[in-house]
Each structure stands twice: as C-alpha cells, then as structure tokens.
A = this chain, B = another copy of it.
Amino acid sequence: MHEPAQSNPGRIHQALTSYQLAQSLKGALELELFTHIAAGARTADEIAAKCGGTVKGVRVLCDYLTIHGLLTKTGSQYALVEDTATLLDKKSPRYMGQVAGFFLHPVMVAKYDDVAALVRNGGATDHTLSPNESMWVEFARSMAPMFDVPATIVARKLATPGVRTKVLDVAAGHGLFGIHMGLANPAARVIFQDWDNVLDVARENVARMGLSDRSNFLPGSFFDVDLGGGYDVVLLPNFLHHFDHETNVGLLKKVRAALAPAGQVAIIEFVPNEDRVSPPDGAAFAMRMLGTTPNGDAYTLAEIGSMLRAAGFGPAETHSLAPAHQQLILARS
C-alpha cells in the first residue's frame, strides 16, 4: 500500500472555515464576553450566567477564541490577553468592539461572496461609493475607535498650539482626524467635508468634543464641492485608496489649489511595502479595496509619491503612525 504524503490539509481547512472566526468574534462582542471576563467571570459557568448563554455554548466559544489567541485558558479559567483587555472590554476607554458592526455588516460580508468575479472585474461591481450611501454612516459610527490613535499621533505631529491654522478634513466621516487637530491647537479652525448624511456623525462628535465654535461643515461630494482656500493643512485620511491613480492626481490638484502658500497635504493611508505582501495590515488592505471599490487599491509610497508629483507637489515625507498600522505622508505645494 502506498505511503500517504505528508502534506497537511489543516491550514487549508482553517482558511476555508475562517468566516467562523469572524462571526465568532462578532458573537462574543454581542454577548459582551470580554467585558464579563474583565469584570471577574472566569469559568464557562460564570461567564454563561452573566451573558445569558448556555455553559456548553460559552465553553465552545471561549475555547475557539483561545485557539485563535484572543483569550487564554488555564484549567477551566479563561482570561483576556492584552489586546482583548484593552480593546474589547466595553469598560476600557479604547473599546473598539463596535467595528464588528461594520466589518460583519451583511452588506460588507456579501461583497466577498464571489471573489472570482472581483478578480475578473478588477474590482467591485456593486460598490459602496454611491453618493450618500448609508454604509458610510455605519462606517463613520463604528470605525471611529480604530482611528483615535492614528488621529492623535497625526495631530501631535502637525499642530502648533496657539498658531492660527485653517484645516480641511476631506471625507471626514467620523471627523476624528480634524477633531484631534482642533483639540491639539486651540487656535485651529477645522472645516469638515463629507456627504451630508455622513457629516451628521462628524457633527455629533464635534459637538461632544466641544469644538462646535471652531468648526464648519462642507456637505457634498469632494469632487463637486467648492473647497474654498487658504488651508494650512488639508487632511486626506483614508481617501486615496478608493480611487485609481488618475482620479487621485485630479483630486490632489484640487487639494493643492485650496492650500495656502506654505500649506501641506496630510495623507493617511494603509501602505504596503514595495513587495505588496508586507506588512500584513497594509498589504491585506488591497483585498479590502478590491471587494468594496471599483478601482481602488492599497498604494505603495512610490505610487503615492508619483501621484503627488503629477499633481505638482514637492517631495513627500513619510511618518509611521505606530502602533496604528497606517502611514502619514506629508507634502507641500
């Protein structure tokens, strides 16, 4: 009888069932499982009593999350790891569990039902870029916690407290990038641009942070709206990746025309290395764009530099936003 080969189907198996991991984490957040463990529930019995689950169901879910490194297990006691303690306990100031609502939204999940068609088409056909698409309201509401850290770091780099600064936050969404510029400099005025329905989320966040008297709102598509001028900083957070090179060059020309003479554009992006397969977060972002935009992509620094040059900008300067998985690219007209 022939010797069976040693190749291991386990990894292929795991990849093909990985949707179970995404949904299990979403389910755990709905059950506030991490919050109950942070509050002292340790065994499946104790956690089940807190979350209204069955002991068996909680045990299977906690074991599954442990296998994937999101919990630890010692004997029958579960505990949080550092990331889940900081980011998935509802009582943590950095709770980001609401992002599950965006990533696992049925509309988002359905975009990947036919990846072969995405590959044949080179992008999404049924995409999320229609004006006033309600998905962006969901995005603005649920993704804000992902961007609090990078927005804080960007503001620290760009703000000069006390110096009058006029800031434009393009496709502001939750508005966090502009808000942190306002918080970091009491002499800054921030103009938030986005579709009117999405801008409501920025309006709420601005009011909550006490920045209403130093903020203006510019409703409408970036491509149609009159931006005004004299901006010291134009923020382009997570915007270029939705479009192709040519569209981005046009977009950057419009930004450049709105800048004050010494003004600068501040691009925040997930950026893959030249090999496009590292680092994982920046590189995997290209699949996010393939599934959800007709022509978007994750651009390398060389590609962003080439767009900036084509739009008339000077040399670009890059800063890591670690621990966030994004880069800040600055250029002056």
Contact = CB atoms under 8 A, between A and B. Distances in A.
A18 B137 CA distance: 23
A103 B14 CA distance: 10
A58 B54 CA distance: 44
Would you call the interface of chain A mostly helix, strand, loop, or mixed?
Answer: helix
A284 B118 contact: no
B14 A57 contact: no
Contacts of A162: none
Given A14-B284, A291-B20, A96 B9 contact: yes
Nearest to A322: B6
Interface in A1-38: 1-2, 4-28, 30-31
Given A4-B323, A57-B290, A323-B4, A22 B17 contact: yes
A82 B11 CA distance: 12
Nearest to A74: B275
A106 B112 CA distance: 12
A15 B68 contact: yes
Count class of interface residues, chain A: 35 or more
Given A119-B53, A122-B56, A112 B20 contact: yes
Contact of A9 (B5, B63, B64, B146): B146
Interface string A260-293: 0000000000001001111011011011111100
Contacts of A8: 83, 323
A19 B19 contact: yes
10 contacts: A1-B152, A2-B152, A7-B83, A16-B104, A19-B104, A23-B113, A23-B114, A54-B119, A59-B276, A61-B287
